[in-house]
Structure 1
Amino acid sequence: MANCCNHANQSIRCTVSQCAYHCQSKDYCSLDSVMIGTHEANPTMCECIDCKSFVKKS
């Protein structure tokens, strides 16, 4: 896995510091793109939406 702080993608803001792709010194994601999805059949609130690119930091 790449060192996330080497590539802060300023187009993707992120505050989930538990993710392996989070740039620790800034609130950005290091991925070039992310997959957004849902865990609900009919999402109606923002809490129903998930970042499917999330990888738990080891």
Structure 2
Amino acid sequence: MEKCNECIKCTVDNCKHHHNTKNYCTLASIEVGTHEANPTQDQCTDCLSFMKR
């Protein structure tokens, strides 16, 4: 079991990097990006480190 990174909270349990028993990421760092040309809301941002489990 990989160690969770308690600096990166995550509830996306179908991501390969999600800790199996805690709501944290197991990566040392993540990349955050956007799918919008001019993001104005938090829904416009994405975790670019996401990988489907």
TM-score using structure 2 length = 0.95
Corresponding position of 1:55: 51
Residue 55 (structure 1) shift: 0.2
User: 1:22 — aligned with what?
Assistant: 18
Looking at structure 1, the residues matched to 2 and 13 of structure 2 have their Cα atoms a distance apart, in angstroms, of: 16
Letter in 2 for 1:13: K
AA aligned to 2:52 is K
Does residue 34 in structure 1 map to residue 30 in structure 2? Answer: yes
Displacement of 1:18 after TM fit? 0.7
**1:13 positional shift:** 0.4
**Any idea what the Cα deviations from partners look like across 1:4-58, whole Å, max 9, x if unmatched?**
x42100000000001000002000000000000000000001110000000000x
Structure 1 unaligned segments of length 5 or more: list them: none
Q: Which has the higher helix share?
A: 1
Give the TM-score normalised by the residue count of structure 1: 0.88
Which one of 2, 6, 12 corresponds to residue 2 of structure 2? 6
